[in-house]
């Protein structure tokens, strides 16, 4: 009987549209930076919806919000959820979809009077984007004990405000124990934010792991000189070194294959003039792999290359680590359950890796976790043009519904 | 007897120091942009010195200044000279040395009552730097008939003023015929503005040719995407293309060897963020060679590379030509005379190529021409730190003196 349950796609869209109006920019993006007035209004709206659904609401000292729907037994709940803070030019689905998809599941269960053995909790985690406070995924990180409250409170916003003060200011400095719940399992519903499902024409991604991330900034100090009068053998060209780095990164990705990606996203030359050999260059390096051993190998290969380059070109090269996260293995049983559920519902499925960070990677530290992805048109995200077809949003939420029904058994 | 003639190094330095005070910046650079009030004061000072030396002064309709010392016969003169306009952060020797070195030669001849068969002319050419009006080397270009006066007058300054109006405004819109003189030969004395003489420890460069210059701006339009979630095979990465270009330019220079140099001096990526594949990149390409056939070959090889790159990466690549000058062959007899003269005076000499543009390349169109270089410490120019040892400035001027004495025979 439960196998025929379906969520209401139109109703889901109505809720997504309502939340998208809060912090809407003239370009049609959403700007609800964490713990701002816009975030408060968004939180109040979501908490209101939770109340309408009869959920038991709790807020913890890092501002995470939880709405619990009781089970027939008072045991460890199954949790879903995501975040509703955005970057400055956020889309309407990133994060919001996971929270409102979870509430739509609850709404469907309530309307049809469907009980579950385990409770279901919908979580809203604080400052996932990291656009106002560092680090990103802060709320879920603190939730699972990866950072102390004291450390988190010491985080200062880009506009110079303290995190605890801002929580208090918007009325979300809660007192729930932390973690409020140790879930039986966690499933996060999210848009892919990448192009794979869209390009492959597949409806559902069953996410079984998450890439490790290695970010560094490389600074090359060479010597400025005239581009016409300085023979090649006398050059210490920081601009050439920047180019050699970008070229080598592609070679690393090509040689290693698999999930290895490598990007030089930012380059700054000085003095940056057509007829002057650059004295200084700064480039950013983004390396990702799903396997920690391989990611370390990529980093080592890059470090060896820099040593050789500095020697060959007679320049000084320094590096500064900007971020480093190990890859995360999600729970294979939960990922397989997601894939099987999607197939049973008649959807095409791709087992896949997440290239971006998500709250689920933190929850994976305390309970079996995995993610459901739906296609992002052209892979565009963090942009007003972020889009997912309503039919895909509906499909993903139905997969969430039946995955949760199975996990709460 | 004439073989023992020597210029007065201290007197030369005094004149260089006086001119350097005009337009001096707080950082110690010279800022005498062409046809500004500072340029006028500099011109007035130089014209005053010419008058003191009894020279016959003429000013032509493009503002070039000439001071003629009569010969024993009224025949085609030998000309020397350079420019006194500077870039915004100019040094004290670039250009000025060639003009004041020429006047020091005249001063030496006058003091010792040394007659010459041919007249000697010291020229001061308008807007050599091109820092205020386009193109650079404007005065000498118009002088030799490479551009009409009408075209030159249509040039607008970076501050929106007309060239003819500015000439009139500072009192240098002259009426001399153009060219005022068709020289028997032209010799320009200049600092190297490159590191070769300084690094090799050689006193005098005998410049027998000048590199051809090919400047272009390359714009790559790819597609912005997430650096984590976009697999390598789906990328259209403008940042990678910029790197591949910089890397390939070095390969062109390596493969071709000889005088070929290649530089990517400027790079701009957009959006220029660590975790975003660049949608757009603009890079500058500076190719130089002393041989036009080889320079064309380098350009062709680069164009072929861009075609292949655009296809491989799935990006659009457009190029815009910013400048193109063919290489200039100076007169081998004059260049050899310079080298021989320097050796006779006991100096070390290197036959060499100029990597920068100079007025002499324009004069070479109408008469046998060549250049004398002296070392620039560390090759630094267009900078307050531009420096040449006084002994080298003196040596170069003595080489000019005896080269002119030979040419005026």
The rounded distance, in Å, linking the Cα atoms of A220 and A308 is: 13
Q: What is the bridge-based pairing of β-strands B78-82 and B185-191? A: parallel
Determine the pLDDT at residue B1. 57
Preferred mutation among B129, B217, B233, B246 to probe A, highest tally of A CBs within 10 A: B246
For residue B24, give the DSSP letter. Answer: B
**8 A C-beta contact, residue A80 and residue A120:** yes
Preferred mutation among A193, A241, A275, A279 to probe B, highest tally of B CBs within 10 A: A275
Listed by start position, the domains of chain B span: 2-211+327-407, 212-325
User: Could you write out the DSSP letters of every residue in B325-357?
Assistant: E--EE--HHHHHHHHHHHHHTT--EEEEEESS-
Tell me how far the alpha carbon of residue A38 is from its chain's centroid: 20
Is residue B10 less than 8 Å (CB to CB) from chain A?
A: no
Determine the pLDDT at residue B301. 98
The rounded distance, in Å, linking the Cα atoms of B193 and B97 is: 12
Mean of the pLDDT values across residues A122-131?
A: 95
Which secondary-structure segment (H or E) carries B391?
Answer: helix B390-407
Determine the pLDDT at residue A355. 86
List, for chain B, all residue ranges whose pLDDT scores fall below the cut of 50: none
Would the CB atoms of A261 and B288 count as touching at under 8 Å? no
pLDDT above 60 for A47? yes
Determine the pLDDT at residue B355. 86
Confidence band of A265 (pLDDT split at 50, 70, 90): very high
Rounded to 5 degrees, φ, ψ at B85 are: -75, 155
**8 A C-beta contact, residue A213 and residue A288:** yes
Is residue A327 less than 8 Å (CB to CB) from chain B?
A: no
Q: Which residues of chain B does A355 touch, with a Cβ-Cβ cutoff of 8 Å? A: 226, 228-230
Structure token pair of residue A289: 């792999």
Give the nearest chain B residue to A288 (CA atoms): B228
pLDDT above 90 for A322? no
Is residue A250 less than 8 Å (CB to CB) from chain B?
A: yes
Residues 6+ apart with CB under 8 A from A407: A78, A118, A184, A185, A187, A334, A337
ipTM surpasses cut 0.85: no
Q: How far is A227 from chain B (nearest CA, A)?
A: 6
Is residue B246 less than 8 Å (CB to CB) from chain A?
A: yes
* Locus of tokens 């002499």: B360
Question: How confident is the model over B295-349, as pLDDT tens digits?
Answer: 999 999 999 999 999 999 999 999 999 889 899 999 999 999 999 999 999 999 9
Is residue B39 less than 8 Å (CB to CB) from chain A?
A: no
Residues 6+ apart with CB under 8 A from B166: B35, B157
**CATH homologous superfamily for B2-211+327-407?**
Zn peptidases (3.40.630.10)
Give the nearest chain B residue to A192 (CA atoms): B229
Mean of the pLDDT values across residues A326-355?
A: 96
Determine the pLDDT at residue A317. 98
Which CATH number applies to B212-325?
A: 3.30.70.360
Mean of the pLDDT values across residues A252-273?
A: 95
Structure token pair of residue A47: 């908490």
Structure token pair of residue A269: 């030359």
Q: Which residues of chain A does B218 touch, with a Cβ-Cβ cutoff of 8 Å? A: none
Please, what is the average pLDDT of chain B? 96
Which secondary-structure segment (H or E) carries B372?
Answer: strand B369-374
Question: How confident is the model over A359-376, as pLDDT tens digits?
Answer: 999 999 999 999 999 999
The rounded distance, in Å, linking the Cα atoms of A297 and A58 is: 44
Question: How confident is the model over A137-175, as pLDDT tens digits?
Answer: 999 999 999 999 999 999 999 899 999 999 999 999 999
**8 A C-beta contact, residue B122 and residue B58:** no
Same fold, B2-211+327-407 and B212-325: no
Question: How confident is the model over A62-111, as pLDDT tens digits?
Answer: 999 999 999 999 999 999 999 999 998 899 999 999 999 999 999 999 99
In chain A, which among 131-190 make CB contacts under 8 A with chain B?
Answer: none
Question: How confident is the model over B244-295, as pLDDT tens digits?
Answer: 999 999 999 999 999 999 999 999 999 898 888 999 999 999 999 999 999 9
Confidence band of A1 (pLDDT split at 50, 70, 90): low
Would the CB atoms of A272 and B268 count as touching at under 8 Å? yes
Would the CB atoms of A286 and B268 count as touching at under 8 Å? no
Q: How far is A61 from chain B (nearest CA, A)?
A: 31
Is residue A245 less than 8 Å (CB to CB) from chain B?
A: yes
pTM, to two decimals: 0.79
Is residue A297 less than 8 Å (CB to CB) from chain B?
A: no
Give the one of B193, B274, B355 whose C-beta lies nearest to A215's C-beta: B274
Tell me the fold of A219-325. Alpha-Beta Plaits (3.30.70)
Which secondary-structure segment (H or E) carries B212?
Answer: strand B212-221
Q: How far is B224 from chain A (nearest CA, A)?
A: 8
Is residue B284 less than 8 Å (CB to CB) from chain A?
A: yes
| pLDDT > 90 in chain A, percent | 90
Question: Among candidates A266, A400, A252, which has minimal Cα distance to A338?
Answer: A400
Determine the pLDDT at residue A103. 98
Rounded to 5 degrees, φ, ψ at B383 are: -165, 150
Please, what is the average pLDDT of chain A? 96
Q: Which residues of chain B does A350 touch, with a Cβ-Cβ cutoff of 8 Å? A: none
SS3 sequence of chain A: CHHHCCCCHHHHHHHHHHHHCCCECCCCCECCCCCCHHHHHHHHHHHHHHHHCCCEEEECCCCCEEEEECCCCCCCCEEEEECCCCCCCECCCCCHHHHHHHHHHHHHHHHCCCCCCCCEEEEECCCCCCCCCCCCCHHHHHHCCCCCHHHHHCCECCCCCEHHHHHHHCCCCCCCCCCCCCCCEEEEEEECCCCHHHHHCCCEEEEEEECEEEEEEEEEECCCEECCCCCHHHCCCHHHHHHHHHHHHHHHHHHHCCCCEEECCCEEEECCCCCEECCEEEEEEEEEECCHHHHHHHHHHHHHHHHHHHHHHCCEEEEEEEEEECCEECCHHHHHHHHHHHHHCCCCEEEEEECCCCHHHHHCCCCCEEEEEECCHHHCCCCCCCCCCHHHHHHHHHHHHHHHHHHCC
Give the one of A194, A245, A322 whose C-beta lies nearest to B274's C-beta: A322
Q: How far is B118 from chain A (nearest CA, A)?
A: 34
The rounded distance, in Å, linking the Cα atoms of B220 and B225 is: 15
Q: How far is B161 from chain A (nearest CA, A)?
A: 25
Q: What is the bridge-based pairing of β-strands A261-263 and B225-226? A: unpaired
Is residue B239 less than 8 Å (CB to CB) from chain A?
A: yes
In order of A94, A101, A168, A384, B374, the CA distances from A24 in angstroms are: 14, 20, 24, 10, 65
User: Could you write out the DSSP letters of every residue in B69-116?
Assistant: E--SS-SPPEEEEE-----TTB-SSTTHHHHHHHHHHHHHHHHTT---
Q: Which residues of chain A does B272 touch, with a Cβ-Cβ cutoff of 8 Å? A: 265-268
pLDDT above 90 for A30? yes
């Amino acid at each position: 009987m439960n196998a025929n349950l379906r969520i209401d796609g139109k109703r889901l869209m109505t809720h997504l549209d309502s939340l998208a109006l809060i912090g809407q920019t003239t370009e049609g993006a959403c700007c609800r930076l964490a713990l701002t007035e816009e975030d408060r209004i968004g939180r109040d709206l979501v908490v209101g919806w939770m109340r309408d659904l009869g959920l038991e609401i709790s807020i913890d000292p890092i501002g995470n919000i939880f709405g619990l729907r009781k089970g027939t037994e008072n045991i460890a709940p199954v949790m879903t959820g995501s975040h509703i803070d955005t970057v400055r030019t956020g889309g309407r689905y990133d994060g919001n979809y996971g929270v409102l998809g979870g509430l739509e599941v609850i709404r469907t269960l309530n309307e049809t009077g469907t009980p579950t053995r385990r409770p279901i909790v919908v979580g809203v985690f604080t400052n996932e984007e990291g656009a106002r406070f560092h680090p990103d995924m802060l709320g879920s990180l603190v939730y699972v004990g990866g950072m102390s409250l004291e450390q988190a409170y010491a985080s200062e916003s880009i506009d110079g405000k303290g995190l605890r003060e801002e929580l208090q200011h918007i009325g979300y400095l809660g007192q729930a124990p932390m973690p409020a719940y140790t879930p039986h399992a966690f499933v996060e519903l999210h848009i892919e934010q990448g192009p794979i499902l869209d390009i492959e024409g597949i409806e559902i991604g069953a996410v079984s792991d998450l890439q490790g991330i290695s970010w560094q900034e490389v600074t090359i100090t060479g010597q400025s000189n005239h581009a016409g009068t300085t023979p090649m053998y006398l050059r210490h060209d920081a601009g050439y070194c920047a180019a050699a780095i970008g070229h080598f990164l592609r070679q690393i990705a090509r040689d290693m294959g698999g999930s290895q990606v490598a990007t030089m996203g930012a380059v700054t030359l000085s003095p940056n003039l057509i007829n002057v050999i650059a004295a200084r260059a700064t480039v950013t390096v983004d390396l990702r792999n799903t396997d920690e051993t391989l990611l370390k190998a990529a980093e080592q290969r890059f470090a060896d290359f820099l040593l050789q380059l500095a020697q060959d070109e007679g320049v000084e090269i320094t590096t500064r680590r900007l971020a480093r996260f190990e890859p995360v293995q999600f729970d294979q049983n939960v990922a397989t359950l997601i894939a099987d559920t999607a197939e049973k519902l008649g959807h095409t499925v791709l087992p896949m890796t997440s290239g971006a960070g998500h709250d689920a990677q933190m929850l994976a530290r305390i309970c079996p976790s995995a993610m459901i992805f739906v296609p992002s048109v052209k892979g565009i995200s963090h942009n007003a043009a972020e889009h997912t077809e309503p039919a895909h949003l509906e499909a993903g939420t139905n997969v969430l519904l039946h995955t949760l029904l199975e996990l709460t058994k």
